[in-house]
Amino acid sequence: MTSELDIFVGNTTLIDEDVYRLWLDGYSVGDAVALRVRSGILEQTGATAAVLQSDTMDHYRTFHMLERLLHAPPKLLHQLIYQIPPSRQALLIERYYAFDEAFVREVLGKKLSKGTKKDLDDISTKTGITLKSCRRQFDNFKRVFKVVEEMRGSLVDNVQQHFLLSDRLARDYAAIVFFANNRFETGKKKLQYLSFGDFAFCAELMIQNWTLGAVDSQVDDMDMDLDKEFLQDLKELKVLVADKDLLDLHKSLVCTALRGKLGVFSEMEANFKNLSRGLVNVATKLTHNKDVRDLFVDLVEKFVEPCRSDHWPLSDVRLFLNQYSASVHSLDGFRHQALWDRYMGTLRGCLLRLYHD
Amino acid sequence: MPGKLKVKIVAGRHLPVMDRASDLTDAFVEVKFGNTTFKTDVYPKSLNPQWNSEWFKFEVDDEDLQDEPLQITVLDHDTYSANDAIGKVYIDIDPLLYSEAATVISGWFPIYDTIHGIRGEINVVVKVDLFNDLNRFRQSSCGVKFFCTTSIPKCYRAVIIHGFVEELVVNEDPEYQWIDRIRTPRASNEARQRLISLMSGELQRKIGLKVLEMRGNAVVGYLQCFDLEGESGLVVRAIGTACTLDKLSSPAAFLPACNSPSKEMKEIPFNEDPNPNTHSSGPSTPLKNQTYSFSPSKSYSRQSSSSDTDLSLTPKTGMGSGSAGKEGGPFKALLRQQTQSALEQREFPFFTLTAFPPGFLVHVGGVVSARSVKLLDRIHNPAFVGIMGNTRSYKLLDWNSFNSDEPETRDAWWAEIRQEIKSHAKALGCHAVVGYSESTSICEEVCILSASGTAAVLNPRFLQDGTVEGCLEQRLEENLPAGCGFCHIPYDELNMPFPAHLTYCYNCRKQKVPDVLFTTIDLPTDATVIGKGCLIQARLCRLKKKAQAEANATAISNLLPFMEYEVHTQLMNKLKLKGMNALFGLRIQITVGENMLMGLASATGVYLAALPTPGGIQIAGKTPNDGSYEQHISHMQKKINDTIAKNKELYEINPPEISEEIIGSPIPEPRQRSRLLRSQSESSDEVTELDLSHGKKDAFVLEIDDTDAMEDVHSLLTDVPPPSGFYSCNTEIMPGINNWTSEIQMFTSVRVIRLSSLNLTNHALNKNFNDLCENLLKSLYFKLRSMIPCCLCHVNFTVSLPEDELIQVTVTAVAITFDKNQALQTTKAHVEKSLQRASTDNEELLQFPLELCSDSLPSHPFPPAKAVTVEKTSPMGEGNFRNRSAAPCANSTVGVVKMTPLSFIPGAKITKYLGIINMFFIRETTSLREEGGVSGFLHAFIAEVFAMVRAHVAALGGNAVVSYIMKQCVFMENPNKNQAQCLINVSGDAVVFARESELEVVSTQQPAANCQPACTGGEVTT
């Protein structure tokens, strides 16, 4: 006796959250059944392994049929085939678009292309996430990217509108899309200590201040691309380190203000010029795509690492950066105050976030 | 004369990409009704076209309006080649034809293609302007309402229940026409869908005409079925119960009206024995008893039932005169005469209803059934033995004149069967058959026709126009019965149609009741039940040699009686094992396949307080000298006794003790025991031998005479009870549970197993089949575990044998969550309550008149606390016998359509019936593997069917389908060719419901109405 066909169709589509998770995690039916058995469900319910097998198959089939709709979440809401309560729909979508930290760190900033897709095998081996799950997450990134690129309006809003994600998740996707579009390097060894949250935080600041959208909300792609003009203008900041007098003046202003307040004052005083050169040079190089990509590498190399090697506490870093940005306003010979604020305001936020072990 | 049909095509969405180059579609729509077609403009390059068409107007006869479906086809325009069809929508406009139902059909319909399934949606608006037609000879029957519900619909009152209506139409099956060889599968499927839609419309119109002739205005319990007879054609047949219904508009208006009927009804049955003590008698847990008339076996097994046959063959014997003479009750005699005269006018006094207005049902005789084996395209066939023995069937259709309305042969077949049912009912002393249904099973050219129902004596009040005799009513008023009346035997105890074991009713002590009662109806609302009920199934397979034509029919005919007997025995054993004494909703399905027959009987077992406590089951060994064998037997006996004890606890069956003297000794009936014995043999010696072997009075003896019997006993014990928190039944509601929440989940589950063809024996087969059903149930319990505490209601199993080694089981049911705490309370209160009902009633009566009424219905005592709460939330709503909790409706989103096989929605009131839903779909694939194999294919199809039903209901303005049923699910596969095909037929009633908490004003509801008289009665007695 073999079961040829075995189905269960409810007027309200039954969704088992545990099985959904197993499915999303890319387990085969067999593995999922084994995992469910291990969870002790048989003892709790008095069911047999055959029942569990049939139940798992059934849910997998349902999810497989729903997957097509999950690719365009608004369709899931308007379709008539599966009657699913709104709260369950939201859960299905949110979980489907959720991603693993380990996975996103691997692909963040990479081009979402076929080439990267080929590397998924390696990522799967490295992270222990099933290949199937990696593919789903990668395809999700790519799908969201395709839909929202070249779209007007706020990136987060667009993601939210077209994929019906929660605010949190929509922000994360905005960051992923932004990173993918600008191809920021995040995979270098010295960046490994940074979490996805760190990058997403920076992405949000950059989207808010450095993109076209920050000055004009009526352009295509406004939140995706950095404001080219702004990057061009950043060259003007060069004077802060190129002009010796200006640099000395800046240093003395900062030192005067921070004397006695900084635990690492002497180290700061000794390193001021190096740090300042580092920060300003990062700005002036941003006209080159290559240097844009290396933004985070440069920030860590030029600022985070020197400070960390001198054991600056975070509070001192904050005091220093505040004073460092503010003192520029007192430099009479410097005319690009607004530009400086647009640059340094964001950079200060990013650096503070990036400064940890 | 005519009506004007107006259709507007608004928009489409989610259309499939038809042009690969542009990834877009140039869609337009054809709207067709009858022979007229309109087209919209092409809406270029869009997957979400906005046609916003003008109103397309069709001027048509109302006859056509009833027959024809509106056909909407969505196409992709192609300049250079033929336009490609995207899909179709068929809309049945019948609901627009009666005034009280829907006025407009408007909404999004899934666009359906028989090859690709649902492909996007289309927004359509349909209206009908109907001109009044006074022509008496018209062919249409617009205005007759149809209901699938097998009880009086909730917002109506039955003025008259006229009786049985039936009709069938026959046509050639397009799938078997010569043209099918050259046309595409899509064209063939569409031709079939359209034809069936057309035939359904025609059938419904013809039935409507019959109803108008009877001066009725509605058909209740409408059941339409298809017989796919293959080469010999396609039969669409329907049965129903014609009624005159009154819409309940306001509670004030209907209360008085109801008063009299229910009074009458209650009283009349009991007037035979004026018994002042009835109401207040201590253990007022009236029980019901039923007798079982095993009619097919009667006709077959001549050795044991010659007397029955005699009786059943003398239909002219007036029941009334016979019993009246014996019992001497003048009222009874009068009642009988009335009923008889009312019913005699009818050819078939059958009712497809399974639940009735209070008082309608006076006595229940037992199940009557008849089967007949027919050959579909041969002239001579050895038809049914017994009464059907002389039948000859004729070729269905002359192909040269197809489409001719000459379904005489099929008509004659059914007429014979119905005649047999009628005579069986007469033999049981009943004039009528309730809970009546018909079915067929077809394999190649052999067809088994089956009909079954419950013989009953009815109250004439509802059957005729005449006013009821006032005096009769009033005299009887005082003896309000405690709801055991329907259990009392309708037949004459000295001239019983079959051997039965009678005792005095455990409730009223006046009338005789049988020891077991089998019925096809729902549990009457006024019946007193002890404990809870449970689903009981008998499952059976019998191998059969492959044979052709007549030999085949003979083989089947010979097997049938044995199958019926075994099924009956199994049911009886399982019932006893559960410690129960009555079956409701009994449905026995016999399915024929190439090389086997399958029998599946489902019913809900309950313990009726009016019937005697069932005896245990005793096992008798054949070789008493063998010591180890004896030990084994006693071991088995112990297991059985333990199971019975466990079941009694599980189902809370603890009837009050009644001393023997009060009840009176059982009526001596020497032959009775032998009837109940499990013995297929015909020798009477064995029977006697067995009779000696059991000492205990009521014990049911299982004789273990061979390994088969042993296996049977084992299989009895292998039925696993549902996990804790789960109950199941195949009736509308579970006796003993009355605090349903509004959480419901309707589902369909299908399983197909392939038998290993090697060494198939009856036993291996039985085991496979049994495991299939048990595993299916287990899976359901597991899947629905989040709904615990919950009850699977209206569990409906269907078995089919699509191929040699395949068994297909389809289950549709609804899971309803109930409130555990209240359940406990109820059961506790139950015993207490039944002991002091009169006083409680009285107290409550003062405070909550309406609530109380329902309370005073003996069958469903409510905990007083509950009554109070409900009273607060909705001033009267819950007066209903189902005390549903008025749970606040969880944020109900727009567009949710509930589906349920029940006639009601827990926690809600049906405010409007919008019309019948009757849909037929075919789905075919030539890429089975790509669609996820057979499971993927069928899963998707059933989901699509649900979606299309919901869409139609929503477009009618409804939010639920009640009395939903999947009548057919025919699945065929050919994995080698990567092909599969499936046909599904579903029906139900589209309704609008409102949550009870949303209802401010007391809405009109029949059960509540019925309370009123009951209260009055209570007052009088106490």
Reported confidence tier of residue B710, pLDDT bands at 50, 70, 90: low
3 state DSSP class of A263 = coil
Burial A294-317 (b: 16+ CB within 10 A, else e): bbbbbbbbbbbebbeeeebeeebb
Rounded to the nearest 5 degrees, what angle is found at the Cα of B60, between the Cα atoms of B55 and B62? 120
Cβ atoms of B915 and B95 within 8 Å: the answer is: yes
- Picking from B748, B755, B897, the nearest residue to A9 by CB comes out as B748
> Does position B798 have pLDDT exceeding 90, yes or no?
yes
Average pLDDT over residues B210-225: 90
Pairwise pLDDT comparison (B105 vs B839), residue with the higher score: B105
Q: What is the pLDDT of residues B900-959, one digit of tens each?
A: 999 999 888 898 899 899 999 999 999 988 888 899 999 999 999 999 999 999 999 999
CA B117 to chain centre: 30
- The beta-strand segments (E) located in B467-522 are 502-504, 512-514, 517-518
105-134 in chain A: CB under 8 A from chain B: none
Average pLDDT over residues A76-86: 91
Average pLDDT over residues B857-864: 37
Query: Could you tell me how many CB contacts below 8 A there are between chain A and chain B?
Result: 127
The structure's pTM equals 0.81
Neighbours of B154 (CB within 10 A): 24
Nearest-CA neighbor of B601 among B798, B801, B802, B791? B798
Nearest-CA neighbor of B950 among B903, B896, B1003, B872? B896
Nearest-CA neighbor of A60 among A7, A2, A131, A130? A7
Distance (Å, whole) CA B921 – CA B406 = 26
* pLDDT of amino acid B56: 94
Average pLDDT over residues A237-259: 89
Cβ atoms of B267 and B480 within 8 Å: the answer is: yes
* pLDDT of amino acid B336: 53
Contacts of B768 in chain A (CB under 8 A): 1
* pLDDT of amino acid B938: 95
Q: Sheet holding B446-458: strands in order across? A: B291-292, B361-375, B446-458, B432-443
Q: What is the pLDDT of residues A141-170, one digit of tens each?
A: 999 999 988 888 888 999 999 999 999 999
| B923 inside 8 A of chain A by CB | no
3 state DSSP class of A251 = helix
**Predicted-complex ipTM score:** 0.89
Cβ atoms of B552 and B614 within 8 Å: the answer is: no
79-138 in chain B: CB under 8 A from chain A: 108, 110, 118, 121
* pLDDT of amino acid B499: 64
Q: Does residue A306 come out as left (phi exceeding 0), alpha (psi in the -120 to 50 range) or beta?
A: alpha
Distance (Å, whole) CA B943 – CA B945 = 5
Reported confidence tier of residue B599, pLDDT bands at 50, 70, 90: very high
**Chain A: residue whose CA lies nearest to B892:** A85
Q: Are A80 and B751 a contacting pair at CB < 8 A?
A: no
Q: Are A78 and B14 a contacting pair at CB < 8 A?
A: yes
- Which of A4, A15, A55 has the highest number of chain B CBs within 10 A, making it the mutation to test binding with B? A4
Contacts of A46 in chain B (CB under 8 A): 723
> Does position A91 have pLDDT exceeding 90, yes or no?
yes
- Most confident range, picked from B162-166, B341-345, B946-950: B946-950
- Which of A2, A3, A6 has the highest number of chain B CBs within 10 A, making it the mutation to test binding with B? A6
Distance (Å, whole) CA B183 – CA B204 = 30
Neighbours of B169 (CB within 10 A): 21
| B783 inside 8 A of chain A by CB | yes
* pLDDT of amino acid A212: 81
Q: Are A7 and B893 a contacting pair at CB < 8 A?
A: no
Distance (Å, whole) CA B8 – CA B51 = 9
Nearest-CA neighbor of B126 among B943, B915, B907, B738? B915
Backbone angles phi, psi at B165, to 5 degrees: -130, 140
Rounded to the nearest 5 degrees, what angle is found at the Cα of B363, between the Cα atoms of B362 and B366? 145
| A57 inside 8 A of chain B by CB | yes
- Which of B768, B778, B811 has the highest number of chain A CBs within 10 A, making it the mutation to test binding with A? B778
Cβ atoms of B748 and B810 within 8 Å: the answer is: yes
Q: Are B775 and A51 a contacting pair at CB < 8 A?
A: yes
Distance (Å, whole) CA A343 – CA A332 = 19
The span from the first CA to the last CA of chain A, in angstroms, equals: 61
| B947 inside 8 A of chain A by CB | yes
Any bridge partners for residue B665, and if so which? Answer: none
Locate B987 and state its tokens: 């029906």
Distance (Å, whole) CA B436 – CA B163 = 11
Q: Does residue B587 come out as left (phi exceeding 0), alpha (psi in the -120 to 50 range) or beta?
A: beta
Instruction: Please state, rounded to an integer, the average pLDDT across all residues of chain B.
Output: 72
3 state DSSP class of B314 = coil
CA A15 to chain centre: 29
Reported confidence tier of residue A174, pLDDT bands at 50, 70, 90: very high
Q: Sheet holding B740-754: strands in order across? A: A2-10, B740-754, B806-818, B790-800, B726-728
The answer to whether the Cα torsion of B300, B305, B309, B310 is positive or negative is positive
The answer to whether the Cα torsion of A295, A296, A300, A303 is positive or negative is positive
Query: In sequence order, what DSSP letters do the residues of A66-130 get, joined into one string?
Result: HHHHHTSHHHHHH-SSSB--HHHHHHHHHHHH---HHHHHHHTTS--SHHHHHTHHHHHHHH---
The three-state DSSP-derived secondary structure of A150-195 is CCCCCHHHHHHHHHCCCHHHHHHHHHHHHHHHHCCCCCCHHHCCCC
Cis peptide bond upstream of B69, omega within 30: no
Average pLDDT over residues B673-692: 31
Average pLDDT over residues B342-363: 79
312-351 in chain B: CB under 8 A from chain A: none
Reported confidence tier of residue B481, pLDDT bands at 50, 70, 90: low
Q: Are B946 and A83 a contacting pair at CB < 8 A?
A: yes
Q: Are B936 and A65 a contacting pair at CB < 8 A?
A: yes
Q: Are A8 and B749 a contacting pair at CB < 8 A?
A: yes
- Picking from B771, B932, B934, the nearest residue to A64 by CB comes out as B932
Which stretches of B883-964 are DSSP H helices?
933-955
Burial B520-553 (b: 16+ CB within 10 A, else e): bbbbbbbbbbbbbbbbbbbbbbbebeeeebeebb
Q: Give how far A88 is from chain B: nearest CA, Å.
A: 12
Residue with tokens 């001579």: B380
Cβ atoms of B225 and B237 within 8 Å: the answer is: yes
- Picking from B745, B750, B936, the nearest residue to A11 by CB comes out as B745
Of the candidate ranges B335-339, B501-505, B563-567, B674-678, the one whose mean pLDDT is the lowest: B674-678
| A65 inside 8 A of chain B by CB | yes
Cβ atoms of B485 and B270 within 8 Å: the answer is: yes
Distance (Å, whole) CA B423 – CA B429 = 10
Reported confidence tier of residue B467, pLDDT bands at 50, 70, 90: very low
Relative to beta strand B70-76, strand B56-61 is unpaired
Pairwise pLDDT comparison (B143 vs B649), residue with the higher score: B649
* Inter-CA distances, B449 with B167, B598, B968, Å: 15, 14, 16
Contacts of B771 in chain A (CB under 8 A): 1
Any bridge partners for residue B918, and if so which? Answer: B987
- What does the DSSP 8-state code read for residue B232? G
The span from the first CA to the last CA of chain B, in angstroms, equals: 60
Distance (Å, whole) CA B335 – CA B594 = 50
Which stretches of B214-347 are DSSP H helices?
251-270, 295-300, 302-313, 319-327, 330-344
| B690 inside 8 A of chain A by CB | no
Burial B639-674 (b: 16+ CB within 10 A, else e): ebeebbeebbebbebebeeeeeeeeeebeeeeebbb
Distance (Å, whole) CA B821 – CA B108 = 42
Describe the crossing of helices B330-344 and B319-327 by its angle, rounded to 10 degrees: 180
**How would you class B623 by CB atoms within 10 Å of its CB: exposed for 0-12, middle for 13-18, buried for 19 or more?**
exposed
Element containing residue A134 per DSSP (H, E): helix A131-148
Contacts of B898 in chain A (CB under 8 A): 11
> Does position B379 have pLDDT exceeding 60, yes or no?
no
Any bridge partners for residue B910, and if so which? Answer: B993
704-743 in chain B: CB under 8 A from chain A: 723
**Chain A: residue whose CA lies nearest to B934:** A5
> Does position B300 have pLDDT exceeding 80, yes or no?
no
| A297 inside 8 A of chain B by CB | no
- The beta-strand segments (E) located in B495-528 are 502-504, 512-514, 517-518
Q: Are B950 and A83 a contacting pair at CB < 8 A?
A: yes
The residues, ordered by sequence, that sit 6+ positions from B496 with a Cβ below 8 Å of its Cβ are B669
Q: Give how far B103 is from chain A: nearest CA, Å.
A: 23
Contacts of A7 in chain B (CB under 8 A): 749-751, 935, 938-939, 942
Distance (Å, whole) CA B604 – CA B517 = 12
Distance (Å, whole) CA B6 – CA B126 = 6
Pairwise pLDDT comparison (A278 vs B255), residue with the higher score: A278
* pLDDT of amino acid B708: 62
Neighbours of B319 (CB within 10 A): 23
Contacts of A73 in chain B (CB under 8 A): none
> Does position B523 have pLDDT exceeding 60, yes or no?
yes
Q: Are B745 and A79 a contacting pair at CB < 8 A?
A: no
The answer to whether the Cα torsion of B137, B143, B149, B152 is positive or negative is negative
